[in-house]
Amino acid sequence: MTTGVRRRMGVDERRQQLIGVALDLFSRRSPEDVSIDEIAAAAGISRPLVYHYFPGKQSLYEAALRRAADELADRFLEPPEGPLGARLLRVMGRFFDFVDEHGPGFSALMRGGPAVGSSTANAMIDGVRQAAYEQIIAHLGVEDPPARLELVVRSWVSLAESTALIWLDGRRIPREELEIQLVHDFAALAAVSAAYDEEMAGIVLRVLTQEPEEGPFGDLLARLSALAPAAPAVPAQRLPHERP
């Protein structure tokens, strides 16, 4: 018969273990509902030992948040190959995987948890948004994005975030439908902006010429075309600058 011997962890290894345990607990419940005692019990150590590695729950929460932020930012990484619509759809799939896995933690992070008011936490959240923005700009192949394009991409990133939060509140819409809808939302935002700006029009037309009919953007055009015959006639409207 052999007797199991508990291996002593090094400082960094123990810290990483506690971060992992805390992230798992924060992912399943709102962070303010998780106590240091629970984290210690889940890690198999005493409460004072947790404080030996982290001065308090706030610092442990921020360390877990950093790991989650890095992981979420990685979900937006996608090889720049193939049509943009298909790439965005894969990104949305990984994004909702993360939201699904870390629901309560994701909700607390975006709506405010124990890190509310923390400049460190806010900076990490902004870092995720910036990483997502930069990835989308890179996929569009634009080195110096015009103001309207920046507005479109940042608005879309915020829309994805708010959509995920609403979805978590009851999950009343199948996530697969929301993933494709968000890709369609990106196309719609870009198309509206293109109607106001020639530079945006050039970017949108370049993207659309590379899109297959069976792709997400082609699917949106087909849906809109099917909807058009059923739409009621709208009287012609004069533009503000036109005179009767």
pLDDT tens for residues 120-173?
A: 777 888 888 999 999 999 999 999 999 999 999 999 999 999 999 999 989 999
Q: Provide the pLDDT confidence category of residue 4 given band limits of 50, 70 and 90.
A: very low
pTM recorded for the entire structure: 0.80
Which residue in this structure is represented by tokens 């075309």? 225
What value does the mean pLDDT take over residues 114-124?
A: 66
Q: How does 2-32 read in b/e, with b if 16+ C-beta sit within 10 Å?
A: eeeeeeeeeeeebeebbbebbbbbbbeeebe
- Closest listed residue to residue 9, CA positions, set 21, 26, 25, 1: 21
- 236's enclosing H/E stretch is none
Instruction: Report yes or no: 36 and 49 within 8 Å, Cβ to Cβ.
Output: no
CA distances from 221 to 187, 196, 224, 226, 229 (A): 10, 20, 5, 9, 13
Among candidate residues 134, 124, 123, the one with its CA nearest the CA of residue 71? 124
